[in-house]
A and B are shown apart, each in its own frame.
Chain A
Amino acid sequence: MAYNVLIVDDSATMRALVRKVLKISGLDLGECFEGANGLEALEILKENWIDLVLSDLHMPEMDGAALVKALRQNNLWQTIPVVLITTEGRQEVLAPFLENGVQAYIRKPFRPEDIKEKLQSILGEAWVPHAGELEGCDF
């Protein structure tokens, strides 16, 4: 199964980096969509089938917390796995998200391997590893 992924981050550079890491990670990647905040993410969700959301937490307009809440309140979207990719590392801030439907978080700064390991643990059999997939990448 090819996974359609939605990357939500207000930094275009960070979205490009995450997209690049996903491509070399071994995930069976379908289409990759990008939104700069929660509002843009919701518009993309209305128009496209999304299998996985990778979202920043601190964003203007509509932040990651509001996006997660909107996803969990919508019958169509409530089962989509959500992984936070965030600078936030304080457990007291992150714990409520993990208790309310966020599958995992990846703290920035991260290594490409961090994203791979986290997605592997969430997606399980969807993973299609390729030999040396992270070897020799110029990341």
Chain B
Amino acid sequence: MLENLKAATFEVLETMFFIFPEGLEEAANLFHGPGLRAWVPLVGPKNFRIGLTLPVSLAREMAANFLGLEKDEVPPDRMEDVVKETANMVAGSFLTKEQVPEAYNLKPPEALRLDLDAQDWQENSHHLLLAVEDAGLEVFLEKTK
């Protein structure tokens, strides 16, 4: 399952953002400063959420690539919108790769801002930690209520 989540993430970042993440052991040390987390609820017989967490600096770079702007031209609301749309695309691609049954549906993405230094970063069975140059990128698939 995590392999498909990883493949979906790579597909989205490479195709839409020209960004090439790597799976590095030291990725857990690359989460610093202000960050953004966006996720998409996956509703069905059981409920999940699929999402990602990243530093604002990486979100700004992604938005700039996506919109063809310079980094300092990206409005903050567009940055959040790009991260939400990225979560949406990763979730959709994951559903396709995993052949998740039709009974599961994606809901509109949600997002929050957070301090990355205040979090504990560990890779486990439902959290992937990746590196994009000197920035960390977390991708997760979690059960929800």
A14 at the interface (CB under 8 A from B): yes
Contact partner of A13 (CB less than 8 A), chosen from B63, B93, B107, is B63
* Structural contact, A109 and B93, CB atoms closer than 8 A: yes
Report the Cα distance A13→B88, complex, angstroms.
13
Q: Which of B86-136 contact A (CB under 8 A)?
A: 88-89, 91-93, 95-96, 99-100, 102, 105-108
CB distance from B49 to the nearest CB of A (A): 14
Q: Does B7 count as interface, using CB distance less than 8 angstroms?
A: no
Q: Could you tell me if B92 and A108 are in contact, using CB atoms closer than 8 angstroms?
A: yes
Chain B residues with CB below 8 A from A108, complex form: 12, 16, 88-89, 92
Tell whether A111 pairs with B15 under 8 Å between CB atoms, given A10-B108, A58-B107, A90-B100. Answer: yes
Is A30 positioned at the interface, with any CB of B under 8 Å from its CB?
Answer: no
Stretch at the interface among A47-55, A81-89, A127-135: A81-89
Q: How far is the CA of A126 from the CA of B127 in the complex (A)?
A: 47
What is the bound-complex CA distance between A59 and B95, given in angstroms?
Answer: 17
For residue B91, which residue of chain A has the nearest CB?
A87
In the complex, whether A92 has a CB less than 8 A from a CB of chain B is yes
Digitize B78-90: 1 where CB-to-A-CB distance is under 8 Å, 0 elsewhere: 1001101100110
Min C-beta distance of A139 to chain B, whole Å? 6
> Residue A70 at the B interface, CB < 8 A?
no
Is B61 an interface residue, CB under 8 A from the partner?
no
With a cutoff of 8 Å between Cβ atoms, the chain A residues found around residue B106 in the complex are 58, 87-88
Q: Which residues from chain A contact B89 at a C-beta distance below 8 Å?
A: 87, 108-109
B95, A89: Cβ atoms closer than 8 Å: yes
Say yes or no: is A12 at the interface (Cβ < 8 Å to chain B). yes
Any A CB within 8 A of the CB of B68:
yes
Given A11-B84, A20-B68, A109-B12, 12 further pairs, Cβ under 8 A:
A11-B81, A13-B82, A20-B67, A59-B108, A87-B91, A87-B93, A89-B95, A90-B102, A107-B92, A107-B96, A108-B89, A138-B68
13 of the cross-chain contacts (CB-CB < 8 Å) are A11-B88, A12-B78, A13-B78, A87-B88, A87-B95, A89-B92, A90-B95, A108-B12, A108-B16, A108-B88, A109-B93, A138-B68, A139-B68
